[in-house]
């Protein structure tokens, strides 16, 4: 079971390797059918964990990965992680099924699409199931990478490239700050296990690094979940194919930040800082996103800003609910927000996934997503209309759909928050329900715009470039399943209560006894004539009035300003960064290799000398040094003569031969120092390099004698001598330090342990592949990337016909 679970978490990466092969050799079958089977199987497999999780039994599996760094591939399955794993795989197989009919296997490079999609699926599973926080970070960055590839899938569109660039810059920036936060967490807790961090969280609030770690982790989470002001990448990411939008930008990637926030709530929760940052950022994003969605004219842009808004709602609920951890046994007044957050997370994945697919169907069958051109599609696309109407009604909070229930829980959480007696909520709490209610009015409004501007009104055939018709049944299956879940969980919400909501709440509110009433989840449709009911009625009334009077206010400048104002800040910052880097590059990149070497050498010399002076590291101790024989003096003398002769040679071939002599003398020295394997390597490398250089330079013109000022020549001499003297001083100082402290050289350790620890007797090879194995792997990775880049450039030039150079 353990090995199977670990393997299945990584199975999307494994299948991604074979997708190009399946695409190439089985062209008669859409590649998506092969991919479809994996998320379906994973969904069924993870369902088997439900009984254990419902009974409070979490599962933990681990295998060592980089033991010396404390990095184990650890899978931890609890209520919160399992919920996300089921969303990732469940929505995943529906998206793959939808994409089979959305992407034409004869016109699209679908093998690329499914490789990227599987990469993303595997990365998300790694994020939500990893207990080791460094491993989680690796998967976290893989989500950014695969998301960039998916957004830029149609890479010939400039908007796709810019959207991918913006997404990557913002989310990777957040990832780097999160990495810094991880480092601080490790310094505080001494462990990389998230569960061990949570278990040892008591008393850490007074630590120096506690608040900086919190802020850095939150930046990573808020950028990923598109919270203001980091939200601007999400609308631009809508340039991706609609299956990507339905998967990444409604159910998975954008919720990775929410996952992280909830996962660390047991660690940071119960503090005023965590409460206020999440509540304020979430509520403001909720309001800002809902207003911005109203201004959009593109169906996917409306859904993008609605996603930003809905994510803000969940973030604010997690922040409000974190106040429960301020107490050992909190009143239910404080825990209701966590219930609302988990419930709405599930609901949002269902109705928003269906809405994105419906928008994709409209685009696919009409050729446009512009609501100014759409209209009258009700009779032509009745199935798509039904899907859109149910999804939008749920998002607007209309009964009897699941969104109505979670919206009621949201209002209840806000009114409860206004009654908090901690964190200065006595005075500020009144603003929470007001902001939430106003945002809900705009939510109702943009839901009306989405449905009625698309399907209502008069159908004008001239607005469309193609014959409009209903989508094929295959494309409708996935959104129908999603909206069916919307209806079923709206009518029978307690199907989710003990299976998903209560276990997830227990994971978020760790430290609160399992017997607490908060975990006895019971969702009802009728709460009586409470304030939440009147807030909901007010939303419907005012939202309906705004839509009915839309013709009067839609000419306002604010309505016609579709572009987000924060984009101007981003553009100015990016342009400034480009100008600044260009200026710096123009100063330092002269095009002359000697300048680069000179700057590098000067920097290293100054840094080394400064360090040695600061720590008084100059020392010479020649005790125990071996005697230098006459033949060794001769070899070293010939070596020096060869080095000095190179700058005075005017012929390219002669200078290369002399440079080869230098390498051969080094090989002789290796032989004298009893390192025959190094000598052989040196000889082979020097031979190959000399031959290649001679072949390359034979056809080049002879070296021209450059005229240079004496100051320039003496500068080169000073730099060269400085490097030589510095290296010599470092070597002498290192030897003196070892002699003075009676240290055992590391070479001795390698000699004594290479056989026992690494299973090899060739010490040099063992150092390369074991002691320095990670370095070697990264070096090979760099060479591999360079080779792929060269291959891609050559292939691209040939494909475009730019082969004049042949």
Q: What is the DSSP string of 583-599?
A: HHHHHH--S-HHHHHHH
**Among the listed ranges 160-174, 450-464, 545-559, 777-791, which one has the minimum average pLDDT value?**
545-559
Does 802 score more than 50 pLDDT?
Answer: no
Look at residue 702 in the predicted model and tell me its pLDDT: 65
Q: How far apart are CA 29 and CA 31, in angstroms?
A: 6
Q: What is the DSSP string of 318-368?
A: HHHHGGGGGSSS--HHHHHHHHHHHHHHHHHHHHHHHHHHHHHHHHHHHS-
The size of the chain, in residues, is: 806
Instruction: Report, as an integer, the average pLDDT of 550-573.
Output: 83
Does 417 score more than 70 pLDDT?
Answer: yes
Look at residue 258 in the predicted model and tell me its pLDDT: 96
**Among the listed ranges 268-272, 289-293, 323-327, 433-437, which one has the minimum average pLDDT value?**
323-327
**Among the listed ranges 159-163, 544-548, 614-618, 736-740, which one has the minimum average pLDDT value?**
736-740
Q: What is the DSSP string of 611-674?
A: HHHHTT------TTPPPPPHHHHHHHHHHHHHHHHGGG---HHHHHHHHHHHHHHHHHHHHHTT
Half-sphere exposure of 465 (CA within 13 A, CB side): 6
Q: Which single residue is written with the structure tokens 């709530």?
A: 265
Burial environment of residue 792 by CB neighbours within 10 A (0 to 12, 13 to 18, 19 or more): exposed
Does 683 score more than 80 pLDDT?
Answer: yes
As a whole number, the mean pLDDT across the chain is 89
Does 272 score more than 90 pLDDT?
Answer: yes
Instruction: Report, as an integer, the average pLDDT of 438-454.
Output: 95
Answer yes or no: are the C-beta atoms of 687 and 695 closer than 8 Å.
Answer: no
Answer yes or no: are the C-beta atoms of 750 and 771 closer than 8 Å.
Answer: yes
Does 259 score more than 60 pLDDT?
Answer: yes
Q: What is the DSSP string of 75-144?
A: EEE-HHHHHHHHHHHHHHHHHHHHHHHHS-TTTS-HHHHHHHHHHHHHHHHHHHHB-BHHHHHHHHHHHH
Does 402 score more than 70 pLDDT?
Answer: yes
Confidence of residue 803 (pLDDT cuts 50, 70, 90): very low
Helix (H, G, I), strand (E, B) or coil at 61: strand
**Among the listed ranges 166-175, 235-244, 374-383, 756-765, which one has the minimum average pLDDT value?**
756-765
Confidence of residue 752 (pLDDT cuts 50, 70, 90): confident
**Among the listed ranges 56-65, 312-321, 350-359, 745-754, which one has the minimum average pLDDT value?**
745-754
- Could you give the angle at the alpha carbon of 152 between the alpha carbons of 150 and 157, nearest 5°? 145
Does 426 score more than 80 pLDDT?
Answer: yes
Look at residue 805 in the predicted model and tell me its pLDDT: 37
Look at residue 800 in the predicted model and tell me its pLDDT: 47
**Among the listed ranges 117-126, 262-271, 488-497, 710-719, which one has the minimum average pLDDT value?**
710-719
pTM for the whole structure: 0.83
Instruction: Report, as an integer, the average pLDDT of 578-584.
Output: 91
Short-list 286, 282, 249, CA closest to 164: 249
Confidence of residue 706 (pLDDT cuts 50, 70, 90): low
Tokens of 198: 């949570």
Instruction: Report, as an integer, the average pLDDT of 295-307.
Output: 93
Answer yes or no: are the C-beta atoms of 266 and 325 closer than 8 Å.
Answer: yes
Answer yes or no: are the C-beta atoms of 248 and 234 closer than 8 Å.
Answer: no
Higher pLDDT, 633 or 554: 633
Q: What is the DSSP string of 24-60?
A: HH-TTS-HHHHHHHHHHHHHHHHHTTHHHHHTT--EE
Look at residue 180 in the predicted model and tell me its pLDDT: 96
The set of residues, in sequence order, having a beta carbon less than 8 Å from that of 789 and lying 6+ positions away, is none
Short-list 224, 316, 321, 324, CA closest to 277: 316
- Could you give the angle at the alpha carbon of 225 between the alpha carbons of 223 and 227, nearest 5°? 65
Range among 244-258, 364-378, 675-689, 725-739 rated most confident: 364-378
The set of residues, in sequence order, having a beta carbon less than 8 Å from that of 363 and lying 6+ positions away, is 242, 299, 300, 369
**Among the listed ranges 35-44, 506-515, 596-605, which one has the minimum average pLDDT value?**
506-515
Does 739 score more than 80 pLDDT?
Answer: no
Confidence of residue 227 (pLDDT cuts 50, 70, 90): very high
Beta-bridge mates of residue 641: none
- 478-534 per-position pLDDT tens digit: 999 999 999 999 999 999 999 999 999 999 998 887 777 778 888 988 878 889 899
The set of residues, in sequence order, having a beta carbon less than 8 Å from that of 771 and lying 6+ positions away, is 750, 758
């Amino acid at each position: 079971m353990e090995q199977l679970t670990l393997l299945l978490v990584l199975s999307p990466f494994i299948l991604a390797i074979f997708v190009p092969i399946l695409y190439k050799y089985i062209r008669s079958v859409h590649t998506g059918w092969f991919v479809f089977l994996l998320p379906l199987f994973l969904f069924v497999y993870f369902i088997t964990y439900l009984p254990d999780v419902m009974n409070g039994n979490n599962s933990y599996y681990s295998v060592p990965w980089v033991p010396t760094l404390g990095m184990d591939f650890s899978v931890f399955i609890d209520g919160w992680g399992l919920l996300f794993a089921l969303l990732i795989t469940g929505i995943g197989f529906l998206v793959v099924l939808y994409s089979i009919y959305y992407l034409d296997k004869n016109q699209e490079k679908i093998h690329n699409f499914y490789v990227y999609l599987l990469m993303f699926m595997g990365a998300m599973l790694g994020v939500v199931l990893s207990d080791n926080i460094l491993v989680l970070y690796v998967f976290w960055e893989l989500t950014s990478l695969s998301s960039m590839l998916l957004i830029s899938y149609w890479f010939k569109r400039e908007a796709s490239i810019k959207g991918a660039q913006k997404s990557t810059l913002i989310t990777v920036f957040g990832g780097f700050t999160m990495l810094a936060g991880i480092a601080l967490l490790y310094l505080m807790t001494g462990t990389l296990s998230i569960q061990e961090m949570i278990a040892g969280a008591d008393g850490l609030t007074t630590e120096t690094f506690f608040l900086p770690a919190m802020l850095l982790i939150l930046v990573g989470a808020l950028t990923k979940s598109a919270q203001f002001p980091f939200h601007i990448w999400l609308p631009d990411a809508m340039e991706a194919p609609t299956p990507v939008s339905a998967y990444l930008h409604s159910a998975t990637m954008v919720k990775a930040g929410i996952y992280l926030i909830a996962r660390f709530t047991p660690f940071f929760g119960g503090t005023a800082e965590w409460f206020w940052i999440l509540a304020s950022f979430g509520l403001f994003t909720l309001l800002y996103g809902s207003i911005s969605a109203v201004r959009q004219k593109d169906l996917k842009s409306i859904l993008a800003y609605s996603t930003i808004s809905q994510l803000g709602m969940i973030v604010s609920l997690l922040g409000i609910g974190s106040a429960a951890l301020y107490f050992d046994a909190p009143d239910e007044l404080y825990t209701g927000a966590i219930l609302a957050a988990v419930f709405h997370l599930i609901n949002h994945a269902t109705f928003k996934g269906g809405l994105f697919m419906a928008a994709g169907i409209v685009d696919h069958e009409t050729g446009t997503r512009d609501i100014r051109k759409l209209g009258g599609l009700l009779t032509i696309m009745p199935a798509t209309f039904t899907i859109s109407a149910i999804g939008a009604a749920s998002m607007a909070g209309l009964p009897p759909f699941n969104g109505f229930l979670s919206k009621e829980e949201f209002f209840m959480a806000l009114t409860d928050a206004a009654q908090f007696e901690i964190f200065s909520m006595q005075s500020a709490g009144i603003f929470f329900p007001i902001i939430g209610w106003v945002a809900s009015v705009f939510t109702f409004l943009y839901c009306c715009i989405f449905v009625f501007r698309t399907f209502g009104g008069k159908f004008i055939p001239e607005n469309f470039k193609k014959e409009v018709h209903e989508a094929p049944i295959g494309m409708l299956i996935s959104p129908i399943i999603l909206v069916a879940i919307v209806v079923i969980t709206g009518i029978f919400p307690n199907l989710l209560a003990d299976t998903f909501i209560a276990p997830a709440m227990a994971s978020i509110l760790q430290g609160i006894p399992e017997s607490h009433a908060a975990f006895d989840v019971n969702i009802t449709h009728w709460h009586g004539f409470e304030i939440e009911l009147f807030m909901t009625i007010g939303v419907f009334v005012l939202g309906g009035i705004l839509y009915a009077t839309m013709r009067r206010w839609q000419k306002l400048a604010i309505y016609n300003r579709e572009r987000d104002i924060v984009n101007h800040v981003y553009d100015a910052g990016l342009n400034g960064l480009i100008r600044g880097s260009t200026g710096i590059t123009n100063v330092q990149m002269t095009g002359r290799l000697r300048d680069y070497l000179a700057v590098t050498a000067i920097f290293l010399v100054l840094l080394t000398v400064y360090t040695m002076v600061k720590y008084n590291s100059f020392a010479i101790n020649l005790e125990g040094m071996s005697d230098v024989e006459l033949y060794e003096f001769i070899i070293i003398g010939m070596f020096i003569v060869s080095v000095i002769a190179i700058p005075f040679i005017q012929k390219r071939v002669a200078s290369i031969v002399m440079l080869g002599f230098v390498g051969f003398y080094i090989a002789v020295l290796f032989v004298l120092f009893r390192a025959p394997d190094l000598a052989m390597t040196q000889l082979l490398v020097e031979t190959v390099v000399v031959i290649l250089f001679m072949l390359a330079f034979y056809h080049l013109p002879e070296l021209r004698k450059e005229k240079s000022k004496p100051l320039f020549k003496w500068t080169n001499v000073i730099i060269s001598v400085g490097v030589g003297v510095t290296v010599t001083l470092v070597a002498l100082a290192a030897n003196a330090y070892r002699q003075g402290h009676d240290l055992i050289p590391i070479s001795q350790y390698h000699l004594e342990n290479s056989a026992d620890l690494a299973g090899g007797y060739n010490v040099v090879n063992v150092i390369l592949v074991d002691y320095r194995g990670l370095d070697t792997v990264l070096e090979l990775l760099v060479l591999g990337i360079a080779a792929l880049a060269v291959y891609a450039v050559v292939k691209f030039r040939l494909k475009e016909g730019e082969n004049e150079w042949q």
